[in-house]
Amino acid sequence: MKNEFDAIVVGGGAAGLFCTAMATQRGRRVLLIEHGEALGRKILISGGGRCNFTNSGTQAGNFLSANPHFAKSALARYTPADFLALVERHGIAWHEKKLGQLFCDGSARQIVDLLQAECAGATILTNTRVERVERGFAVRTSAGDFRAPKLVIATGGLSIPKLGATDWGYRLAQQFGLKLVTARPALVPLTFLPADAQAFEGLAGVAADVEATAGGARFAERLLVTHRGLSGPAILQASSYWQPGETLRLDLAPGQDLEAEFLRRKRSGERTQVKAVLTAFLPLRLADRWAQLHSLDRPLAHARDTDLRAAAQQLQHWHWRPAGTEGYAKAEVTAGGVATDELSSKTMESRRAPGLHWIGEVVDVTGHLGGYNFQWAWASAFAAAEAL
Ligand SMILES: Cc1cc2nc3c(=O)[nH]c(=O)nc-3n(C[C@H](O)[C@H](O)[C@H](O)COP(=O)(O)OP(=O)(O)OC[C@H]3O[C@@H](n4cnc5c(N)ncnc54)[C@H](O)[C@@H]3O)c2cc1C
């Protein structure tokens, strides 16, 4: 194998594969290095095995970053419609699940196959460790030494270590003097403090439509009680905005006025249990438990107005303090990463290290749940490939 290339890409996930494909198709000689046994392993498990490969409504507002404007340029130059056109060219059947989320009808494997087919002509090394990188760029690996004037880092974040996640990209950033925004698990289930664990014991599997608010962001989606805490799309989304020690605000009956409902039905003399009123808004097991916990396990007529008001307030303005997150083992993504002010938003190239580009999740751009993270991987990869 010749060891001189136009560009070397490190990381064979979504961003690295797509960048390799786009640069190769522009006539560049590209070497892709992946330390794992296989390419695109996270894609294979994504979207419950069907890969939510983009979101048709993608906007910069769907991403967290210290600079909320950074992603705009790349997202505008490679859009969800562009990726969808590619999916259709490969004859992959797809469907919209909800809220613009596009999934394969078949399997996520189809997206990995698409990417590998698009990489035709590139040199790809798997099971290969990068040992040293020097300016220029000289890359020493377990499979030999390689050189290229351009180096693209697509090593992703810290989520799901068992699928090959490492902090290698962050360490390389430090080697080149680039600032990092502290990494933290995002799109991650949150855990109960002991008192809540007791209160929710036996309710794992219960789900409800809620509104979850954290750090000023509000999400109206599903909540799921787990054995360790709360999860489901509403909690995963809010977790990206949650900081340790803070509370999340939960409304378990969004769009309703529970207090008015309780008092109206009490005044009209209804002979019903409080929990029967609650079951119109909450799943039976949760309504039951809530009534027990708030001493409202009684007929509506016997409940004091102040207790009903307090219960309604708690259900609709629940300030829930999580113990923490389930960590990188369960986090769908990693927030933080290489600081965007170190990079050109047009080319993803480091200002301090010309020729060194950063794409995908390793950068401090983190999408909401719903196909946005892959769209960022494609768009940032495309932006870098245009400059290789
Ligand atoms: C369970 C799960 C489901 C998800 N579902 C979706 C979804 O449906 N839609 C969506 O938009 N997003 C989803 N995501 C998020 C999405 O998978 C990531 O945001 C996306 O894969 C990031 O792409 P990337 O190429 O930057 O990083 P990755 O896909 O993580 O790829 C990084 C690659 O670099 C390799 N690597 C790491 N260190 C080194 C090194 N030192 N040398 C060589 N190689 C290295 C890794 O092995 C890996 O192959 C999901 C994530 C998880 C965990």
All domains of the chain, ordered by start, with CATH? 7-184+333-386 (3.50.50.60), 189-326 (2.40.30.10)
Q: Which two tokens stand for residue 140?
A: 């020493």
Distance 12 CA to ligand 1 centre (A): 9
Which residue has its alpha carbon closest to ligand 1 atom 42? 35
Residue 1 pLDDT more than 90? no
The answer, yes or no, to whether residue 48 has pLDDT greater than 70, is: yes
Is the pLDDT score of 92 beyond 60?
yes
pLDDT per residue as tens digits for the range 327-345: 999 999 999 999 999 999 9
51 lines ligand 1 (CB under 6 A): yes
| CB of 63 closer than 8 Å to CB of 365 | yes
- If you average pLDDT over residues 47-55, what whole number do you get? 97
- pLDDT above 80 for 2: no
Which residue puts its alpha carbon closest to atom 35 of ligand 1?
11
What is the average pLDDT score of the chain? 96
**Share of residues in the chain with pLDDT > 90 (%):** 95
Whether ligand 1 lies within 6 angstroms of the CB of 34 is answered as: yes
Distance CA 243, CA 158 (A): 18
Distance 360 CA to ligand 1 centre (A): 8
**Is pLDDT of 386 > 90?**
yes
Q: Mean per-residue pLDDT for 243-261?
A: 95
Is 10 touching ligand 1 by the criterion CB < 6 Å? yes
The verdict on the CB of residue 190 being under 6 Å from ligand 1 is no
Determine which residue's CA is closest to atom 18 belonging to ligand 1: 373
pTM for this model (two decimals): 0.96
**Which residue's alpha carbon is nearest to atom 10 within ligand 1?**
371
Instruction: Judge whether residue 238 has pLDDT over 80.
Output: yes
pLDDT digits (tens, 9 = 90+) for 296-318: 889 999 999 999 999 999 999 99
Measured in Å, residue 156 CA sits from the centre of ligand 1 at 5
pLDDT class for 164, splitting at 50, 70, 90? confident
CA distance 72 to 34: 28
Which numbered atom of ligand 1 lies nearest the CA of 156? 27
260-292 burial, b if ≥16 CB within 10 A, otherwise e?
Answer: ebbbebbeeeeeebbbbbbeebbbeebbbbbbe
Average pLDDT of the residues in 246-252: 97
Question: What is the per-residue pLDDT for 374?
Answer: 98
pLDDT for position 293? 87
